[in-house]
């Protein structure tokens, strides 16, 4: 068993993924911890798979999970989290918008009843720099307002792709996940609340990386539908009750 698993969902990330993998390897080269990196190729049509295979040949800590078709980011994350063996399990975006060194901030809060720690671009901290385009800030604020009303209260950034779970929390929460698209983050946090897990939100450094997979209007509508679906799933007892 590894001390920590890093799960990276990847769809057509041949250009952005190598730089982030290099930074992760550099980070762990200076850490006294056992680790594994699981890259979940979500049916990429470019050379993402070949890129990852070249890394696995150089480092046995890197593993490829090859999905035969594109199933969605949520499905890729769920697959990686349930195949991981780490005592701590982080999922992070392939673009490296959140530097891997921010993991240290999240790890500090694990324990004393906290089993889930999430990165936040919304919480203010003088030591953190968030570089996001104006339209992303606006859509993020509107979406969070809807989320606060319908699902998860008290969380100010549900969508930052940098979330840390203990092994027990991951094994408890991810099997209940139903949403495969971008709304899966909200669903995971909602399930955590339903099951009584304490969530800690931590400000981090974050940079908007070019070639984002999120499309402003298309994905905003899809995420709104996902939030409504989460509410109906809860009423049907899909996630169980505390």
Maximum distance among all Cα pairs of the chain, rounded to whole angstroms: 48
- Residue 240: pLDDT band (50, 70, 90) is confident
Domain containing residue 75: CATH number: 3.90.550.10
Question: 0.75 cut: is pTM over it?
Answer: yes
Give residue-wise pLDDT tens across range 106-150.
999 999 899 999 999 988 888 888 875 555 666 666 667 677 777
**pLDDT at residue number 108:** 96
Question: CA 240, CA 234: separation in Å to the nearest integer?
Answer: 8
Q: What is the average pLDDT score of the chain?
A: 90
Q: Which domain holds residue 121?
A: 4-235
Residue 242 lies in a domain: no
Structural domain contains residue 207? yes
Neighbouring residues of 232: CB distance < 8 A, sequence distance ≥ 6: none
Query: How many Cα neighbours within 13 Å face the side chain of 33?
Result: 21
Q: Which of 77, 107, 79, 111 is nearest to 92 (CA)?
A: 77
Three-state secondary structure call for residue 11: coil
Tell me, yes or no, whether 72 lies in a domain: yes
How many structural domains compose the chain?
1
Does residue 191 sit within a domain? yes
**How far apart are alpha carbons 20 and 94 in whole angstroms?**
7
Mean pLDDT of 70-88: 97
Output the CA–CA distances (angstroms, integers) from residue 29 to 34, 61, 163, in the order listed. 10, 12, 22
Note whether residue 121 is domain-resident.
Answer: yes
How confident is the model over 17-27, as a mean pLDDT? 98
Query: Which candidate, 139, 136, 140, places its Cα nearest to that of 207?
Result: 136
Q: What is the DSSP string of 12-44?
A: S-TTTHHHHHHHHHHHHHTS---EEEEEEEES-
Is pLDDT at 213 greater than 60 in this prediction? no
Strands 162-166 and 114-120: antiparallel
| Residue 240 falls inside a structural domain | no
Mean predicted confidence (pLDDT) in 145-167:
86
CB 22 within 8 A of CB 59: no
- Residue 163 pLDDT more than 80? yes
Q: Is residue 189 part of a domain?
A: yes
State pLDDT tens for residues 92-109.
Answer: 999 999 999 999 999 999
Query: What pLDDT is attached to residue 224?
Result: 82
So what's the pLDDT on residue 88?
98
Residue 176 CA neighbour count, 13 Å, CB half: 24
């Amino acid at each position: 068993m590894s001390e920590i698993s890093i799960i990276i969902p990847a769809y057509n990330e041949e250009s952005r993924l190598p730089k982030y993998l290099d930074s992760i390897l550099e980070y762990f080269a200076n850490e006294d911890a056992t680790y594994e990196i699981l890259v979940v190729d979500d049916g990429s049509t470019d050379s993402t798979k070949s890129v990852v295979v070249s890394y696995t040949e150089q480092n046995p800590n890197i593993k490829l999970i090859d999905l035969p078709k594109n199933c969605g980011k949520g499905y890729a994350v769920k697959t990686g989290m349930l195949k991981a063996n780490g005592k701590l399990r982080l999922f992070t975006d392939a673009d490296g918008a959140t530097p891997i060194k921010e993991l240290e901030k999240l790890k500090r809060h694990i324990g004393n009843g906290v089993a889930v720690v999430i990165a936040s671009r919304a919480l203010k901290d003088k030591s953190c720099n968030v570089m996001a385009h104006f339209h992303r800030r606006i859509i993020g604020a509107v979406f969070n307002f809807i989320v606060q009303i319908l699902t998860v209260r008290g969380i100010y950034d549900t969508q930052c792709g940098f979330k840390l779970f203990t092994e027990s929390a991951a094994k408890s929460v991810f099997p209940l996940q139903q949403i495969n698209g971008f709304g899966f983050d909200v669903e995971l946090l909602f399930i955590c609340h339903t099951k009584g897990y304490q969530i800690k939100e931590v400000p981090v450094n974050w940079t908007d990386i070019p070639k984002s997979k999120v499309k402003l209007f298309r994905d905003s509508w899809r995420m709104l539908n996902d939030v409504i679906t989460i509410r109906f799933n809860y009423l049907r007892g899909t996630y169980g009750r505390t």
